[in-house]
Amino acid sequence: MAAGCTPPTPTPAPPANQPPVAYIDSILPSEVTLGEEITFEGHGTDTDGTVVAYRWRSSKDDLLSSKANFSTSSLSEGEHIIFFKVQDNNGTWSTEERGSITVLGETVAPMVVTSFAADPPSISEGDSSTLSWDISNAATVVIDHGVGSVDSVGSTTVSPEETTTYKLTATNPTGSIVASTTVEVSGTPPLPPAQQAVLLVPIADDSGYVRDTGQVTPKYIYVGDDTNNISLQAFMSFDISGIPAGATITKVVVDFSDYTIYGDPFSTLGYLRGYAQSYGALDSSDYFTGTALGALIRYNSLSQLVAEDNSYVKNALQAELGSPRFQMRLQFNDTATNGDWENDIVAWTPGHYPTLKVTYTLP
């Protein structure tokens, strides 16, 4: 370089592109039944440019949408991790934000025995009686003593030679329910008091869970705490109007075995307990905040969630006969929430509800 010449000023390098940032504004609702609609809303920011593209995807269903906001009812059944990212005008994608959705199977309505009776209930030897029945939401209905498979609503004529108790068994994916009626034949020895059995399944619309924030979610029986450290109490409502008020309950088998588990609620929240609670229709006021006393059931591990005879539930149910409903509340009251920002939940979903198998006699 010649003396006295000034060196050229180097051209400064362009500033490095700053990646955009994605934000999930809402995914609502976070729990749905298969086929129900979910709405996704998100946006992005870019400090040195503009956001030009969006991408939503699911851990189960892959690409969902390339719009900032959209709705869909086509997510598959199961637990979905939702990912959302945005792209800037320089072609750079943001880090993915995450959310979650639970899509549950379709609800199966519980069965109801509206009637099962014999007319006349007493006959002379050689005469006939008409059995009639009306069952709702059953997949199959069978009557013993040779009657066999029948429609959900119908009647048939029987001519027993001796006093006979006819048993009707109805089934659907929620389980089975049993009803019986007796035709007395004069001149034959009376039967001893017959044991009858009925399988009680929670009424979906009056069962569910309530968060400590007051949010009510019917149909899904969840208990524990969620990813926002919000406590969930579960509620179950059983229709007992079909058990006569004068019946004597001899046994109740409580079955909580058809559960789904999230996290490790028993090691972090303690005992799961169940209490009798007459709450009517499920609403936000049902979340219990007092001192919980008189537990009917107590579980301290998943291994205890099996079908077992429970005398406490039997006695509580006996005291409610004559009422239309028997209702219970489930809660972890050793620790309502453990603060770990994770789901620690025991869940029972439609078609996989807890059941009460009630055996009783009539005078």
Mean pLDDT of 63-90: 94
Q: pLDDT band at residue 104, thresholds of 50, 70 and 90?
A: confident
CA distance 353 to 312: 20
**Domain assignment present for 198:** no
Q: Are 79 and 345 in contact (CB under 8 A)?
A: no
Find the CATH number of the domain harbouring 43: 2.60.40.10
**Domain assignment present for 96:** yes
- With tokens 């009639």, the residue in question is 132
**Domain assignment present for 59:** yes
Q: How many CA atoms lie within 13 A of 191 on its CB side?
A: 17
pLDDT at residue 60 tops 80: yes
Instruction: Based on the fold, state whether residues 213 and 348 are members of the same structural domain.
Output: yes
Q: pLDDT band at residue 1, thresholds of 50, 70 and 90?
A: low
Q: What tokens were used for 226?
A: 């969620």
pLDDT at residue 112 tops 90: no
pLDDT at residue 329 tops 90: yes
Q: What is the pLDDT of residue 4?
A: 59
Mean pLDDT of 216-221: 93
pLDDT at residue 184 tops 80: yes
Q: pLDDT band at residue 259, thresholds of 50, 70 and 90?
A: very high
Instruction: Based on the fold, state whether residues 169 and 247 are members of the same structural domain.
Output: no
Instruction: Based on the fold, state whether residues 161 and 46 are members of the same structural domain.
Output: no
Q: pLDDT band at residue 6, thresholds of 50, 70 and 90?
A: low
Instruction: Based on the fold, state whether residues 350 and 270 are members of the same structural domain.
Output: yes
Q: What is the pLDDT of residue 14?
A: 74
Q: What tokens were used for 4?
A: 């006295």
Mean pLDDT of 62-80: 93
Summarised one tens digit per residue, pLDDT across range 35-56 is: 889 999 999 999 999 999 999 9
Please state the φ and ψ torsions of residue 97, each to the nearest 5 degrees.
-90, 155
Instruction: Based on the fold, state whether residues 93 and 237 are members of the same structural domain.
Output: no
Instruction: Based on the fold, state whether residues 236 and 313 are members of the same structural domain.
Output: yes
Burial 231-262 (b: 16+ CB within 10 A, else e): bbbbbbbbbbebbeeebebeebbbbbeebeeb
- With tokens 């009517």, the residue in question is 280
Q: What is the pLDDT of residue 87?
A: 97
Instruction: Based on the fold, state whether residues 236 and 352 are members of the same structural domain.
Output: yes
By three-state DSSP, how is residue 312 classified?
helix
Instruction: Based on the fold, state whether residues 28 and 169 are members of the same structural domain.
Output: no
**Domain assignment present for 264:** yes
Q: Are 351 and 173 in contact (CB under 8 A)?
A: yes
Q: Are 285 and 209 in contact (CB under 8 A)?
A: no
Instruction: Using only the alpha carbons of the chain, give its radius of gyration.
Output: 30
Q: What is the pLDDT of residue 191?
A: 62
CA distance 335 to 333: 5
**Domain assignment present for 254:** yes
Q: pLDDT band at residue 15, thresholds of 50, 70 and 90?
A: confident
Q: pLDDT band at residue 5, thresholds of 50, 70 and 90?
A: low
**Domain assignment present for 55:** yes
Find the CATH number of the domain harbouring 311: 2.60.120
Q: What is the pLDDT of residue 34?
A: 84
Domain with 73, as residue range(s), is 21-104
**Domain assignment present for 6:** no
Instruction: Based on the fold, state whether residues 235 and 344 are members of the same structural domain.
Output: yes
Q: pLDDT band at residue 114, thresholds of 50, 70 and 90?
A: confident
Q: What is the pLDDT of residue 144?
A: 94
CA distance 342 to 29: 18
Instruction: Based on the fold, state whether residues 178 and 282 are members of the same structural domain.
Output: no
- With tokens 């940032």, the residue in question is 21
Domain's final residue, options 142, 164, 191:
191
Instruction: Based on the fold, state whether residues 269 and 129 are members of the same structural domain.
Output: no
CA distance 227 to 263: 10
Instruction: Based on the fold, state whether residues 229 and 82 are members of the same structural domain.
Output: no
State the DSSP code for 203. Answer: -
Report how far apart, in Å, the C-alpha atoms of 25 and of each of 9, 44, 65, 97 are: 48, 10, 15, 10
pLDDT at residue 332 tops 90: yes
The domain total for the chain is: 3
Summarised one tens digit per residue, pLDDT across range 123-178 is: 998 899 999 999 998 899 999 999 999 999 999 999 999 999 999 998 887 777 88
Q: Are 273 and 326 in contact (CB under 8 A)?
A: no
Q: How many CA atoms lie within 13 A of 243 on its CB side?
A: 31
Q: pLDDT band at residue 362, thresholds of 50, 70 and 90?
A: confident
By three-state DSSP, how is residue 254 classified?
strand
